Structure 1
Amino acid sequence: MGFLRGLFGKKEAPKRQLDHVNKLLKGDMISLDDSFALPEQLRGQQLKVEAIHTYEYERSQQCEWLLRGHSGTAIFMSYIEEDEAYLSFSLKINRSIVEQIFDLDEFSQLFEEPGNAELKTLPLSNELDSEYARWLSDAYHQVEFAAFGYFHRQDYRGQKPPQDDNNQQRGDGFESYSLVDSDESHAVDIEVYEGGDTEVMLTLYRPLTDIREFWPAS
């Protein structure tokens, strides 16, 4: 038997097939299209999956991949399946950037009932223009007001996130507010966490074909 085993060698385990965004695991890499429609943080970039998160809502769950490339900028990607499937890419911006991109009085209307605020983008400085112009649209209208959810820093695809004894999720609770532009290609997403921590994201909706190649980590 030892002789035969030596002759034929060990049977190699089949290589993992990575051919769809929904199969991405931590450590995997993707490369993106070099289209000028994409901002420089995405255009032609190779991005590695650094972490996988889960957003949990009353009737749905959404997986989020935290991606980073050579620049070190955190990019948040989700796969969305509605009438057709598409990708969303998001970039977090801090308060000082929010103040330079939007009028704060207009921005504060997002948090006022009934939640039908409109938001216009301010003229950008040259520096902001090169960094954020392709993430932005000229004007947005509100489509979501105080939708409650939980954020989990773990991958719960195909399973229900854990509940505690009082049937409360163990994630971080937040309220989400969203605006989109008229052609639904750009969005502004805001999450307000318990305690008042607020995260603002500029979001782009893009076709699945923006991912040119997949590289499995193993």
Structure 2
Amino acid sequence: MSFIGKWFGKEAPVTRQLTQPMDLRVGDMVTLDDSFALPPQLRGQQFRVEAINTYEYEHSQEPEFVLKGNSGDAVYMGLEQDDETWLAFSIKLHRSQVEALFDLDAFAEIFDEPGKATLRTLPLTDATEPYAQWLADEYHQVTFAQFGYFHRQDYRHGKPSQFMENNPGDAFEAYELLDGDESRAVDIEVYQDGDTDVLLTLYRPLSDIREYWPGE
């Protein structure tokens, strides 16, 4: 505190420290590495945290950070906890993009018991080339119809209500396929009203976030 601050009883404003993704808030910004290991949708990009959602499962809950950059397209960032923590970047696909990337007959097997489907990527075209670094040649299924709730609310410092009338979450079933080295995934969420989200996910080290910029 400066001498003048002490004299008039005022404290200098404290700058908020931000060094890890779990502490991000709406309005914060991040800058990603410019490495060619990242796809063009992420490489060297600066993103603002637009929203923080929560996935609630039986034994866990996971935050989802909705990021927006200059393109205006949303990138979804989660945190994958294993022996260490990884960033999980995801982008959503439209149905036409799913059709262009995967054989739909093989894709349908993901929803059949016992949930052991194998999925191969179709040859890339000019239209699908932008997804090249998001994709693996082949995936194997690791999750089948895992039940959960999606909340458009940040529950990092609390838990959703256990009473259904106070719980605004959207119920869904999750399906996941991983590639051989578990660095890429296809994630599918099927909601009770029939809406289905298909996402390509890329797992990356925390160091891919090069800079953090606290918001207001």
TM-score normalised to structure 1 length = 0.94
Is the 8 Å Cα contact of residues 163 and 170 (structure 1) preserved in structure 2?
A: no
What per-residue deviation string (whole Å, max 9, x for no partner) do you get for residues 56-96 of structure 1?
A: 00000000000010011100001122211111000000100
Offset, 1:117:
0.1
Residues 100, 12 of structure 1: CA spacing in aligned structure 2 closer, same or farther, 3 A cutoff? same
Measure the CA separation in 2 of the matches of 1:206 and 1:165. 36
Counterpart for residue 97 of structure 1: 97
What per-residue deviation string (whole Å, max 9, x for no partner) do you get for residues 162-212 of structure 1?
A: 23257x843000000000000000000000000110000000000000000
Counterpart for residue 116 of structure 1: 116
Measure the CA separation in 2 of the matches of 1:165 and 1:77. 27
Offset, 1:7:
5.0
Is the 8 Å Cα contact of residues 5 and 11 (structure 2) preserved in structure 1?
A: no
Counterpart for residue 36 of structure 1: 36
Counterpart for residue 12 of structure 1: 12
Residues 126, 165 of structure 1: CA spacing in aligned structure 2 closer, same or farther, 3 A cutoff? closer
Counterpart for residue 206 of structure 1: 204
Q: What residue ranges of structure 2 are gaps of 5+ in the alignment?
A: none
Offset, 1:12:
1.7
TM-score normalised to structure 2 length = 0.94
* Identical-residue share of aligned pairs (%): 59
Could you tell which deviates more after superposition, 17-26 or 155-164?
Answer: 155-164
Alignment: residue pair count: 213
The secondary structure found in structure 1 opposite 2:187 is strand
Q: RMSD between aligned alpha carbons?
A: 1.6
Counterpart for residue 197 of structure 1: 195
Measure the CA separation in 1 of the matches of 2:9 and 2:72. 42
Residues 164, 106 of structure 1: CA spacing in aligned structure 2 closer, same or farther, 3 A cutoff? same
Counterpart mapping for 1:16-27 below 5 A: 16-27=16-27
Measure the CA separation in 1 of the matches of 2:68 and 2:171. 25
Counterpart mapping for 1:1-218 below 5 A: 7-8=7-8, 10-129=10-129, 131-164=130-163, 169-218=167-216
Is the 8 Å Cα contact of residues 178 and 185 (structure 2) preserved in structure 1?
A: yes
The secondary structure found in structure 2 opposite 1:187 is strand
Give structure 1 regions of 4+ aligned residues with deviation exceeding 4 angstroms: 4-9
Could you tell which deviates more after superposition, 10-19 or 109-118?
Answer: 10-19
The secondary structure found in structure 1 opposite 2:99 is helix
Letter in 2 for 1:193: Y
The secondary structure found in structure 1 opposite 2:127 is helix
Measure the CA separation in 2 of the matches of 1:165 and 1:45. 40
What per-residue deviation string (whole Å, max 9, x for no partner) do you get for residues 123-167 of structure 1?
A: 1112311x110110100000000000000000000211123257x
Residues 183, 165 of structure 1: CA spacing in aligned structure 2 closer, same or farther, 3 A cutoff? closer
Is the 8 Å Cα contact of residues 79 and 87 (structure 1) preserved in structure 2?
A: yes
Is the 8 Å Cα contact of residues 41 and 73 (structure 1) preserved in structure 2?
A: no
Measure the CA separation in 1 of the matches of 2:9 and 2:136. 59
Measure the CA separation in 1 of the matches of 2:123 and 2:202. 19
Measure the CA separation in 2 of the matches of 1:59 and 1:51. 23
The secondary structure found in structure 2 opposite 1:127 is coil
